[in-house]
Chains A and B, each alone.
Chain A
């Protein structure tokens, strides 16, 4: 009789037994026989179609059956079959590709538009930028994404895709749009200095992001996530300070 050895976590499902004898001729047959005798083991070993679960490793005399004949590996009476679970896991918060060229084009367009509106004395441009940024945040893309796409089509810009969290960038844009919205309200109320001050602040932060690679809005997002604020769930990519640009 071949002997099937169970790993510690599965023994409670087989009356606490460490080893079970089997007269089966193949690995799959032995496992089916085992799960018929101890039905509570089945969900941990076999898929609903009766085949071996992918996370379960089976060794016959210290040889992985993947290197033998798989589930069909034949068993001899003196064989020792070991069931070894795969142990895996991890924080799992998968990063997604984020095109930082699009983000930088957005920042440059924001700075250019705000500077232009100040020089031309045209506060309505501030309102326009506010709307573009808020709309962009709502659609989860840069407000000046259309400009970036046009520049890319003309081969003037190339994508710079890095693994990152998109959410903090979206939040940063929302924050910028909000401040420009406040600036627009200030202009309407005749508080011109406050309006230009707020617009200047947004342009300054976009500049720090563009030239130094530090996204303050993103850093605020990560700090709020640390305080477990609902809706703020992401941590910075491993080894990256909050708000800093991840390495490509």
Chain B
């Protein structure tokens, strides 16, 4: 399992995460599946965190209509929603128990740590089939062509 994410798209995610700090930021990862379970992301859609305002520092939720619209558009462009990115302000880039509880199969969950307002490490995860844990996905960050 490898997630390929160009530097410039990664930068978009990091900026979204920094702008939302100390709240969590989230959005969608779109792209195509290549052979040997390699996923190439070629579009990221930063979205609003619609969790109630008093919990946004530790929680995120995406608006179902945003997801619906993104899925429609992706299909027209020959892409797929391959995953979700979100930030963990002042917390490691590892899925929490709450992330596990809420996770969907198939999607890649890209988590970016933000420390004191500056984006740090990002790591990619996928839910195991039995929902018991997340497996880490290799993250490939090629320079833009």
Contacts and interface: CB of A to CB of B under 8 A. Distances in A.
A82 B68 contact: yes
Contact of B104 (A57, A87, A94, A235): A87
Q: Which 9 A-B pairs have the closest CB atoms?
A: A92-B98, A238-B22, A90-B59, A239-B22, A92-B96, A91-B91, A9-B106, A89-B99, A91-B88
A95 B98 CA distance: 14
A182 interface: no
B58 interface: yes
A235 B120 CA distance: 15
Contacts of B86: 89-90
A241 interface: yes
Contacts of A62: 68
A86 B102 contact: yes
B68 A86 contact: no
Interface string B56-83: 0111111011011001000000001110
Contacts of B21: 238-239
Contacts of A89: 26, 59-60, 84, 86, 95-96, 98-99, 102-103, 109
Interface of A: 7-10, 12-13, 44, 55, 57, 59, 62, 64, 82, 84-95, 235-241
B138 interface: no
B143 interface: no
A221 to B, nearest CB: 14
A57 B117 CA distance: 33
A9 B67 CA distance: 12
B24 A91 contact: yes
A57 B22 CA distance: 29
Contact of B24 (A90, A236, A240): A90
A90 B58 contact: yes
Contacts of B60: 88-90
B62 A92 contact: no
Interface string B3-39: 0000000000000000001111010000000000000
16 contacts: A8-B81, A13-B105, A55-B102, A64-B64, A84-B64, A84-B68, A87-B84, A88-B59, A88-B102, A91-B98, A92-B59, A92-B97, A92-B98, A93-B58, A93-B96, A238-B90
B119 to A, nearest CB: 14
Contacts of B105: 9-10, 12-13, 44
